[in-house]
């Protein structure tokens, strides 16, 4: 469905804004429990949680504020292609520099 055909309401935008605020607050709260973590596994769990929360915020902004939820699918594929190459660069170069 094209974006012109479907404009999200202000109420939807405000709901998404509130969710973004809540997710950021949880991220910050998690950061402050870091000092209490002793085992390596709890540190990994913290990092995984931060990445999941960050991804949720990312998806909310892209889907609702950038209108990919309603816009032409081609834009989604364009953006995903860029994201995929960016992620591949990050992972490949990290592996290259850290292990060789």
Partner 1 sequence: MTSADHHTGHAEHATTTGITHNKMMMWSFLASDCMFFGTLIMMYMVYRPDMAELGGVGPNDLLDIPFSSLMTFVLLMSSLAFVLGLSALQRGNHAGMRVWLSATAILGLLFLGGEGFEYMKFYNEGLSLGTNVFGTAYFVTTGFHKLHVLIGVIWLLGLVAMSYRGQIGVHQSEKVEIAGLYWHFVDIVWIVIFTFIFLVPYR
Binding mask 1-20 for partner 1 (x = CB under 8 A): -xx---xxxx--xx-xx--x
Does position 30 interact with partner 1 (CB under 8 A)? The reply is: yes
Distances (CA, A) of 21 to 8, 13, 40, 57, 77: 19, 12, 29, 9, 28
Q: What is the rounded distance in angstroms from the CA atom of residue 48 to the CA atom of residue 54?
A: 10
Does position 79 interact with partner 1 (CB under 8 A)? The reply is: yes
2 close to 67: Cβ distance less than 8 angstroms? no
Binding site for partner 1 (CB under 8 A): 2-3, 7-10, 13-14, 16-17, 20-21, 24, 27-28, 30-32, 34, 43, 46-47, 50-51, 53-54, 57-58, 61-62, 64-67, 72, 74-75, 78-79, 81-83, 85-87, 89-90, 93-94, 97-98
């Amino acid at each position: 469905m094209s974006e012109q055909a479907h404009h999200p309401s202000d109420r939807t935008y405000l709901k998404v804004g509130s969710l973004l605020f809540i997710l950021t607050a949880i991220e910050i709260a998690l950061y402050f429990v870091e000092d209490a973590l002793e085992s390596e596994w709890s540190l990994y769990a913290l990092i995984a949680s931060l990445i999941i929360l960050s991804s949720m915020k990312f998806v909310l902004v892209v889907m609702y504020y950038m209108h990919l939820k309603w816009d032409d699918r081609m834009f989604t594929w364009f953006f995903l292609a860029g994201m995929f190459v960016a992620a591949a660069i990050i992972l490949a170069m990290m592996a290259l520099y850290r292990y060789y």
